[in-house]
Amino acid sequence: MFEILRAVGSQWISVHKTPLLDKKSPKTINNIMIPMGKLCNDNKENLIKVAAIDPNGKVFGSIQLKVSDLENTDTFTSSSKNGGSLRFTTKEIISKPSFADYQRAGLSISFTAAIDYTLSNGMI
């Protein structure tokens, strides 16, 4: 199983866990989508950690990196004595504009409100 965590202060918060892999299957993860806000609080310089976990729940390897590193590199190597590497075969960062982004780009919104003071709807 693999777990993706993000750094919050001096703690690591779990963001995503993959299903447990059996011994015969290749150690690959199918495509997953994690929103940037959830992964790194929309800050590409925040640290994230990818940890490999055995069926007993023990971490046997992990790699720390920044989301900005993902844009430039495909393979990351662990600095632990057990070694190991993590390779991203497919990665895509999709930007979804916020409401404020639309306003900065010049979007204008018109709003009209009306109050009906007549008794055409009956007594309340």
pLDDT in tens, 79-89: 666 666 677 77
Nearest Cα residue to 50 out of 91, 9, 78:
78
pTM of the complete model beyond 0.75? no
DSSP 102: H
Q: What are phi and psi of 111, to 5 degrees?
A: -135, 130
Quote the pLDDT of residue 118. Answer: 78
Q: Are 18 and 32 in contact (CB under 8 A)?
A: yes
Q: What is the pLDDT of residue 112?
A: 93
- Other beta carbons within 10 angstroms of residue 78's beta carbon come to 16
Model pLDDT, residue 29: 67
Is the pLDDT at 6 greater than 80? The verdict is yes
Q: What per-residue confidence (pLDDT) applies to 84?
A: 66
Assess contact for 83 and 50: CB atoms under 8 A.
no
Given pLDDT bands bounded at 50, 70 and 90, which one contains residue 25?
low
Q: What are the domain boundaries of the chain? A: 2-95
| 2, burial (CB in 10 Å: exposed 0-12, middle 13-18, buried 19+) | buried
Average pLDDT over residues 42-63: 83
Is the predicted pLDDT of residue 106 greater than 60, yes or no? yes
